[in-house]
Amino acid sequence: MPNNRTWIPYLLILPSVAFLALLFVVPLLQTIWLAVSDNGTPSFANVQRMVGDLNFTRSVQNTFLLTLAVVPVQIVIALAMGTMVAKVAAGRETILWIWTIPLAISDLAAGLVWLSILQNSGYLNSFLYGLGIIERQASWLSYQTPFALFLGIAAAEIWRGTAIVMVVIVAGLNQVPKEYREAAEIFGAGPWTRFFRITLPLIRPALQSALILRTVLAFEVFAVVYALGGRNFPVLVGEAYNWQNQNQNYGVAAAYAVLIMLISLAATMFYLKAIKVDPERLP
C-alpha cells in the first residue's frame, strides 16, 4: 500500500513548482537573456552600455553606501527595541503594534512623508524657522547639499525599514529560554555580558535572517530615494527604472536587474557563510 503512494508528495508540490516555473523562472531567464543579447544574438553590448553610463558608478557607490549606513543602524535599533519590549509586561502588544506601523506604509508613501518634512516648504524648515534658527527656507535635498540629501534618505530608510528587522529579532528573542539568563545572573554576569555572551549568540539564526532580508531590501531601495532625491541620488534600481521607463531601452534595464540580483545573491551567500548557525539549532 505505501509503495503505491510515493508519487503523492510530488503531485502535491507540482502546482507550486509549476507556478514558480511559470511566474518566476521563465521571466528570470528572459531577463537574463535580454541583458546579454542584442537583436537576438548573444552580446555584451547592454552590459557595456550600462557600465559606460554616466550614472553607473555613482549608482553603485550610492547603493552600497546607503546599505552600509542603513543596515547596521537598523540592526542596532531593532535589537534595542526588542530588548526594551522584552522587559515590558503590560502593553507589550500595543507598543509592538505602534512600532510596526511603518511596515504598513508603502515605500513611496514613506518617501512622500519624508519629502513633506524635508522639502523647502516642509515641516523641518517651518520648525527651524519658528525657533529662529534659520532666516529663510534651507534646501536639504538638492544636488548642492549631497550630505544632507544622503542623511535625509538614510533617515527615511531607517524609519521605514527598521520595523521588519525588529519583528524578526523579537521573534528570535522570544525563543531565548529564561533559564540561561537567570543562571548567568546567579553567576554574577552584568547586563552587557548577558547580552553579548548569551542573548546575541542565541538569536543568531534570527539575526542572520534579519540581515539577509534587510540587506537584500537595501540593495533594492528605490521609491524612497526617488521621492526624496529624484535625479540627484542615482541608485541601481532607479537606474533600471529610468532605462526601462524613460529611455525605453529594455536591454540595459535588464542588465541592471541582473546586476542587482547578483549583488543580492552574493550578499545572502556572505551572511550564510559569515554568521554560522549551529547545525543543531537549524530546523
Q: How far is CA 43 from the centre of its chain?
A: 32
Minimum distance, C-beta of residue 94 to another protein, in the bound complex (Å): 38
Cell (9 digits) for 136: 529663510
**Which helix (DSSP H) or strand (DSSP E) does residue 246 occupy?**
none
Of 186-215, binders to another protein (CB under 8 A) are none
Kindly tell me which residue out of 87, 248, 274, 280 binds another protein, with binding defined by CB under 8 A. Answer: 248
Q: Binder to another protein among 31, 37, 232, 264 (CB under 8 A)?
A: 232
Within 8 A by CB and 6+ apart from 203, the residues are 169, 172, 173, 175, 176
Q: Kindly tell me which of 54 and 89 has the beta carbon lying closer to another protein.
A: 54
Q: Which three cell numbers stand for residue 30?
A: 528572459
Measured from the CB of residue 230, what is the shortest distance to another protein in angstroms?
A: 5
Which residue in the set 31, 83, 100, 142 belongs to the binding site for another protein (CB under 8 A)? 142
Element (H, E) at 38: strand 37-38
- Nearest CA among 211, 210, 219, 214 for reference residue 264: 219
Report if residue 247 touches another protein, rule: CB under 8 A.
yes
Only one residue has cell 534659520, namely 134
User: Is residue 231 near another protein by the rule CB under 8 A?
Assistant: yes
Grid coordinates of 32: 537574463
The residue among 86 and 230 lying less far from another protein, judged by its C-beta, is: 230
Q: Which residues bind to another protein, rule: CB under 8 A? A: 54, 119-121, 135-137, 139, 141-145, 226, 229-232, 242, 244-249
